A and B are shown apart, each in its own frame.
Chain A
Amino acid sequence: MLQIDLWKRIFIWSVCALGLLLAMPNAFYQRVEARNDAVAAIELGHSGNGLEEQAAMWPSFLPSSLVNLGLDLRGGAHLLAEVQVADVYETRVKTMWPEIRDMLREERATIGTIRLQPSENDQLRVKISKPEEIQRAASLVRGLARPVTSLTGAGQSDIEVSTDGDVIVVELSEAEKLATDERTVQQALEIIRRRIDEVGTREPTIQRQGADRILIQVPGIGSAAELKDIIGTTAQLTFHPVVSRSTTADTNPGAGNDLFPSLDEEGVYYVVESAPVVTGEELVDAQPAFDQNGSPAVSFRFNPTGARKFGNYTAENIGSPFAIVLDGEVVSAPVIQAHISGGSGIITGRFSVEESTNLAVLLRAGALPAGLEFLEERTIGPELGQDSIEAGRIACIVAFAAVLVFMFLSYGTFGVFANIALILNVGLIFGLLSLIGATLTLPGIAGIVLTIGMAVDANVLVFERIREELKSAKGPARAIELGYEKALSAILDANITTFITAVILFAVGSGPVRGFAITLGLGILTSVFTAIYVTRLMIVMWFERRRPKTIEV
């Protein structure tokens, strides 16, 4: 008959209590948020400014996770960037030139003189003067290949060497391209994260999407343009040997060389070798500093490999100039005075103190390995988000009230039970959302409102069934029991099918749609739980106390 074990009763009420406890911080959103920020700040070692007071605003024994508000509710910027992974191929191939050149030069006796040809398609084309020895030269170059360092490409070499008449063609192998893509995107992701962290905004989302895309969402920022400024463009720092200086922009730099303008000297151009000696990737630190004349400068330090390359290069090239190039502009081109062995140095230029500080930050964060193309940009103003929250809140309350009244009018006492379950249900949804740290979006609020409407469905199924069973003149206890028993398969089938669509929405959808899928899916879980267990428990407890001879549903 209508019996539920004590331990089950305790379990059911505990789940409800736990859900409500987890949902509670959301009722005091601003206070808990300020407290969480203060606690985070204290953990980072900050103090003062009333931080301790703020941290004490919410007792630490209570749960403090909140539902994250999505960009459409809080305001902020959203960017979907595609990393131009192919940018890297050319650089990668070009950096092989000095190595190939040095090796082939030693073989000059057999293969003759060598010359770099202009090329496209991320290839390196080397012409040799004795075409009959081309195969020998090509096999020498092949000897420079290294195994690809990735799981899928293991065992394959990183370059493909072919011949075209008297020209050796060197390009990256497919496996190496894939491995490079992976590294490039990972690196870009890491650098974007560091740059955004330096600005210190709240809860940014920086996620990889698919093979070569990065999703960046930063709440509270003024506009997508501002966000793009923070992420910056490529900001590549490289050190090149200088070939010559020129004063015209149309100087032909020749194969294997590049022409870069000077950053602060108007009309001065430098021809430099395309293959850099060291790159910014090998920097471990950069700090604003002052040079011996007291002008602002940036001091930097290389990692061991960078330091070795830089040391060797400076030792061999004392007296010749080298160029420090930032984003395609020569910052300065000092002459190497002595062998620099420690791996540290200083960049001087006509910087202001602020510029040198910014440059140091930029260098420390590292350069983006490849350019970014922005596929999607969204800016939502905080006022619009506030309006949406306000409208959503009012709509929720009205929907709630309407459903509560309607259920009471239709089912009387049983309607009250369903209503209590509905209130618990919304509490549980918020509790679960906070627990898993989900993000609430505007469609997500719509999902909750829809759940409010649909959550009563399971109860309605049961109540209608009880009504039917009562018609066949069974006792009330038996009717209630049968009502639950027979309605169960309909409740489960109906909710599982809806749940399937919620799961598909979550898997395939993105952004706000996903927010909707989460609240819809959680709403189904909690409404089935409250209908099958909570309402039933309430009815059973009511029945035990009253023992009515007849019931009206």
Chain B
Amino acid sequence: MRLRLVPKETKWDFFSRPVLWLGISGALMVLALVSFFIQGLNFGIDFRGGTTIRTESAQVVDVAAYREAIQPLGLGDVSITEVFDPTFADDQNVTMIRIQAQEGAESVSADIIRNVETALKTVAPDITFVSVESVGPKVSGELIKTAVIAVLLAIGAVLVYIWLRFEWQFALGAVAALVHDVVLTIGVFSELQIRFDLAIIAALLTIVGYSLNDTVVVFDRVRENLRKYKKLDLKEVLNLSINETLSRTVMTSVTTLLALISLFVLGGDVIRGFVFAMIWGVIVGTYSSIFIASAVLLKLGVKRDWTKPSNTAGNQYANIDA
């Protein structure tokens, strides 16, 4: 007896309600963009400059007392949040203190750190600073620039690759799905105000890679079926291809999610935001490769008059032997 997440044979019609799915995605993307422009992202110090200090103490944290202790130092905007995590020990009370970039200084001076430390010691004598990170405004500006370049470069590179391996309609379909995924991920980060730092960019690019992985598998089957069923309507070919690969799509998403969820629960709070982005990306990426990439392909249409006679000739790796 085998575990089957998808029935043995499916003949679901994925294009019966194209307006519905494209409408939902479109609305969500608009929502994401609105949230992004109105609320903005909760940038971490990597992108905004400033200092974060992670403290640990055996005593229960009194955020108000911490704030009171730091206030007289006149450091401008200081945010103090207590961090909770199931991986912490009982007497491990963690806070994150974020101090804005100081006027006229690239990175925070050792004096400021020492002052903050002394001030907090009056509130919690056993406090330790487990990590202190400080990024100057000069670097943070550059980091934003390189991050944007990285994402654009990645999307551009795969656009070219798919265009070379398939047809331009496929490339556009895949890129539409990618843009969809990236926009929705940024939207979630803006809506939930999760800290957006350098690691999230890595997550974004991984989402791009993963979503593409899914899309390419479906497209590969579309390409094959287009040659196999020359007379079949494009919509039918797409439906058939998605149904044939559905079991694989679901299997891979589930194994990846299993791994990611265990990391989300057990991996500690330091990378939780990063893992959250990837979990979200896997879900959105799986959805978009079925509903967005293929729908765009259906709208654009595909050149059908293949002059190549054989159905293995297009498969250029077909004769690779183990």
CB within 8 Å of B: which residues of A?
Answer: 4, 8, 72, 80, 82, 223-225, 228, 373-381, 383-384, 387-388, 391-392, 394-395, 398-399, 402-403, 406-407, 409-412, 442-443, 445-446, 449-450, 452-454, 456-457, 460-461, 464, 467-468, 484-486, 488-490, 492-498, 500-502, 504-505, 508-513, 516-517, 520, 532-533, 536-537, 552
Q: How far is the CA of A388 from the CA of B271 in the complex (A)?
A: 9
Given contacts A399-B259, A502-B209, contact A409 B130 (CB under 8 A): no
Q: Verify if B198 is at the interface (C-beta below 8 Å from A).
A: yes
Chain B residues near A376 (CB, 8 Å)?
A: 107, 134-136, 139
CB within 8 Å of A: which residues of B?
Answer: 2-5, 54, 56, 87, 106-108, 110, 113, 128-136, 138-139, 146, 149-150, 153-154, 157-158, 161-162, 165, 198-199, 201-202, 205-206, 208-210, 212-214, 216-217, 220-221, 224, 244-245, 247-248, 251-252, 254-260, 262-263, 265-268, 270-271, 274-275, 278, 315-318, 320, 322
Q: Is the CB of B87 within 8 A of A497?
A: no
Name B258's closest neighbour in chain A (CB-CB): A402
- Of residues B214, B270, B275, which shows the largest number of chain A Cβ atoms within 10 Å of its Cβ? B270
Chain B residues near A402 (CB, 8 Å)?
A: 258-259, 262
Q: How far is the CA of A80 from the CA of B220 in the complex (A)?
A: 45
Q: Which 3 A-B pairs have the closest CB atoms?
A: A453-B259, A453-B256, A391-B268
Q: How far is the CB of B21 from chain A (nearest CB, A)?
A: 23
Q: Is the CB of B132 within 8 A of A379?
A: yes
Beyond the given A391-B267, A497-B158, please list 6 additional residue pairs across the A-B interface where CB-CB is below 8 A: A378-B134, A383-B128, A384-B54, A484-B322, A498-B212, A536-B322
Name B9's closest neighbour in chain A (CB-CB): A471
Chain B's interface: helix, strand, loop or mixed, by majority? helix
Q: Is the CB of A381 within 8 A of B130?
A: yes
Q: How far is the CA of A533 from the CA of B134 in the complex (A)?
A: 47
Q: Is the CB of B202 within 8 A of A449?
A: no
Q: Is the CB of B130 within 8 A of A501?
A: no
From B136, B205, B270, B317, contact of A501 by CB (8 A): B205
Q: Is the CB of A398 within 8 A of B275?
A: no
Q: Is the CB of A80 within 8 A of B248?
A: no
Q: How far is the CA of A470 from the CA of B215 in the complex (A)?
A: 25
Chain A residues near B271 (CB, 8 Å)?
A: 388, 442-443, 446
Name B143's closest neighbour in chain A (CB-CB): A510
Given contacts A500-B161, A516-B202, contact A442 B135 (CB under 8 A): no
Given contacts A376-B136, A513-B201, contact A443 B274 (CB under 8 A): yes
Q: How far is the CA of A22 from the CA of B35 in the complex (A)?
A: 49
Q: Is the CB of B206 within 8 A of A450?
A: yes
Q: How far is the CB of B118 from chain A (nearest CB, A)?
A: 14
Q: How far is the CA of A260 from the CA of B317 in the complex (A)?
A: 76
Chain A residues near B161 (CB, 8 Å)?
A: 496-497, 500
Given contacts A8-B322, A449-B263, A496-B161, contact A384 B106 (CB under 8 A): no
Q: How far is the CA of A383 from the CA of B317 in the complex (A)?
A: 50
